[in-house]
Structure 1
């Protein structure tokens, strides 16, 4: 994709992949310029969301960003804390994150997924004003919806490998499955 195409995608909003009653609603930080240009979540080639989703057992095969609509058949969806596409998450202000947290809370209350999974601990901490939050299940709930903070799947997040990230995603998958049995 040409640089001009990516720059033209700056501040674009891409639609959520969501429906009521999902098992897990994944929540990214905000769309990348590649996502803004293609209209697909986690579209940047170095992003590990799609491989990790498969490695963790959420999907039976590795989906491409263009197949994001298939997530709904697995009871999964995607939204973002901040809606607008940027080159880097640090282009967003703390106020945008806090407003995104308010909007996300309303969205979750309306859609009522079993779990909200925020991919990016720093985004979670800022959006929900919870500076001490750690990766994993959170005390916070939104109505009946439980909340889980996951590592950011960006290729820039070198602290987590695809394997260690997949293990954390699998912990959530197991918790979401346990919730279905009860």
Structure 2
């Protein structure tokens, strides 16, 4: 019987000029086998992203390179915000804090996360996105220790990551199905921030206490304002 040989990692999909980068803890085995991010059939990431204003049509794991700007799309788009590309509203990249392939991210130790943090920060600095969104509170805590407030999903009141807004959404894993609705709300707020004109302030997100006592984070300067400030500096 031949043993299964897994790829050593799942390559980053990062390039300069991205609007947004999604950040996980580490690549899962199924994702590495498929060669695409969030590739497990039980993961709700692509369904949640498809329903959000961040994209203009339904997307699948095979669209990850296209969203980054490195692939070609031939499928029709649904109606998107005026003036945006007919098939891709924003350029979206993908990476992980730790690049080691593992089925269960609980096998990634706190020490391994901490050791990977400097190299991860360097990758984000090279891409210089307008915003980053952690798809795991544990990944966020690896970069911002002790900054997480229970269930405070949304934009975080922390120092920008290489000039980028910092957001956290609930895990799209099937084991976190109870929070997938809150993940959709975070992506809607994130899209609002990224699409909003730079000369108009983003209002503080309203409380979601009526929906399971979920709170969105505070609203520092918008991604577009941060992006313009970097160009001026």
Unaligned runs of 5+ in 2: 70-89, 197-222, 229-233
Write the distance in 1 (CA, Å) between the matches of 2:164 and 2:224: 13
Deviant stretches of 4+, over 4 Å: none
Q: Is 1:141 the counterpart of 2:150 in the alignment?
A: no
Matched, 1:17 2:17: no
The unaligned stretches of length 5 or more in structure 1 are: none
SS of alignment partner, residue 45 of structure 1:
coil
Q: TM-score, normalised by structure 2?
A: 0.69
The one of 161, 164, 179 aligned to 1:160: 179
Q: Secondary structure at the match of 1:77?
A: strand
Q: Is the 8 A contact 2:42 2:174 kept in 1?
A: yes
Distance 1:143 1:157, change over 3 A: same
CA distance in 2, matches of 1:132, 1:142: 15
- Superposition RMSD in Å: 2.0
Structure having the higher helix fraction is 1
Q: Distance in 1 between matches of 2:175 and 2:41?
A: 12
Report the more deviating stretch, 89-98 or 128-137. Answer: 128-137
Q: CA deviation at 1:118?
A: 0.9
Among 174, 177, 182, the residue aligned to 2:195: 177
Residues 116 and 145 of structure 1 are in contact (CA less than 8 Å); yes or no, is this contact kept in structure 2? Answer: yes
- 2:110 paired with 1:91: no
Relative to its length, the structure with more strand (as a share) is 1
User: Taking CA–CA contacts closer than 8 Å with sequence separation of 6 or more, which of the two structures ends up with the larger relative contact order?
Assistant: 1
In the alignment of these two chains, the number of paired residues is 176
The equivalent position to 1:111 in structure 2, one of 117, 120, 127, is 127
| Secondary structure in 1 matching 2:126 | helix
Matched, 1:68 2:64: yes
Q: Which entry has the higher C-alpha Rg, 1 or 2?
A: 2
TM-score when normalising by structure 1: 0.87
Is 1:129 the counterpart of 2:145? The answer is yes
| Deviation for aligned residue 1:43 | 0.3
Larger mean Cα displacement after TM superposition, 29-38 or 126-135: 126-135
- Other-structure match for 2:169: 150
Contact 1:42 1:50 in 2 (8 A): yes
